[in-house]
Amino acid sequence: MSTEALKGLDVGRIAHRDAALLMWATDAHIPDALELYRAWGFRYVTVAFVWSKKTVNGKTVSNLAPWTLKNCELCLMGTRGRMVQYKQRNNVPQLVEAVRTRHSEKPEEVRRSIEALFGDVPRIELFARCRSPGWDYWGNEV
């Protein structure tokens, strides 16, 4: 979907007034991600996770790009309201080294880290590729 089409999704309506929005973005698409945060009523706060992609043999995945080889994907975080009140831990690691699986499928380790960070709050994954216990899903590939 284009950034304009994504901005038309009513994410702000389905989110609680105190909410965190974690969004995957490659570094070339950070400006688009920041636009989406604003359009959906969130304030960007940090890079929550950096996924160092590995092969099943443990080698680093490297993709060609105009400037440097790309081996990582970023999970940005934005918030609205008083989401900090739900923070459970201060020691959730940012770096996630995990095997790259199906196209666009994100590592389960990040879901577990989000759960550790915020505890038992309602969670939904948009554009989900798989199911995970304790999460609601939206998307046509689940």
Q: What percent of the chain has pLDDT over 70?
A: 99
Contact assessment for residue 72 and residue 52, using Cβ atoms and an 8 Å cutoff: yes
CA distance 132 to 29: 26
Give residue-wise pLDDT tens across range 17-32.
Answer: 999 999 999 999 999 9
Q: What is the pLDDT of residue 127?
A: 87
pLDDT at 111 over 80: yes
If we measure between CA atoms, which residue out of 2, 9, 75, 77 comes closest to residue 42? 77
Q: Is 27 helix (H, G, I), strand (E, B) or coil?
A: helix
Residue partners of 30: CB distance under 8 A and separation at least 6 = 74, 76
pTM assigned to the model: 0.91
Q: What is the pLDDT of residue 85?
A: 96
Q: What is the pLDDT of residue 75?
A: 97
